[in-house]
Amino acid sequence: MVSNKFSFYFGLWTTILLLIASGSVHLDNVFPANWIPIVTAWSSFLGAINSAILTALNGYASNTAGPLVSKETIDAAKKAAVVLVAIGVAMLLAAPAMAQTKLAVRAEDRAGPATSDPGGSLGTIKPDDLWGKLQAAKREDLVYAKALADGAGTEGSKLRAACWGAWIALIDMKTGANAKGPDGQALGPMPDPHLFSTFEQMAQVADALQPNAPFMAACAPVAQGLKMRIMDFVGKVVGGGLSLGTLVPGL
């Protein structure tokens, strides 16, 4: 036979859960706002389960023998009730951690996938792919475009002139056009073998593709103005894929 005291306390605990689940107990300023939905949901779930158990316990509370009253079933009911109470307390105590995890997932969803570029301009591209597209541009074309942008003097053209200038500097860096020897003269042909020279060139490319490097800083505003990642912007410019409709949405 189930103790009346146990039924009383178990019923009291169930009533508290149901009051929380129904909104009769206001949790504002009791729990942080992001915890409240989780506490309410678990209270509703456990309250419903406990209500069913309380109904069954009435069959074990009789002082006379009956089809439900036996030592084995009584012991099993007590154990099940204790386990459910323990689970309920544990879930309510775990609500803060669950809420924090949920918030962290939502924050990650809003921020998008992690990339090497905090501003999201690079996306998840390979540096080799970006570098290949950058080298596909003709230096003479970039020089001419920069002169046109410098002459226009508009706010947009100033941003583009800075981007073209940084792009030219990248090409000069790769070809060693501005590199000088110990005598102050332009460098001659690359020696053979050229292991250290090749490594230095690759290291300079890696430096140039960092989010805060001059090229990235100069071209990011242009790409963002077109609502593109730098990779897409570079690819469309080099491939001739930009149109007036891209530059002026709605035309």
- The domain limits of the chain are 4-111, 127-247
Q: What is the pTM of this model?
A: 0.44
8 A C-beta contact, residue 160 and residue 149: yes
Give the pLDDT confidence score for residue 120 in this predicted structure: 45
Ranges of the chain whose pLDDT falls below 70: 1-3, 57-127, 177, 241-251
pLDDT at 115: 39
pLDDT at 112: 41
**What is the structure's pLDDT at 85?**
64
Residue-level pLDDT at 122: 46
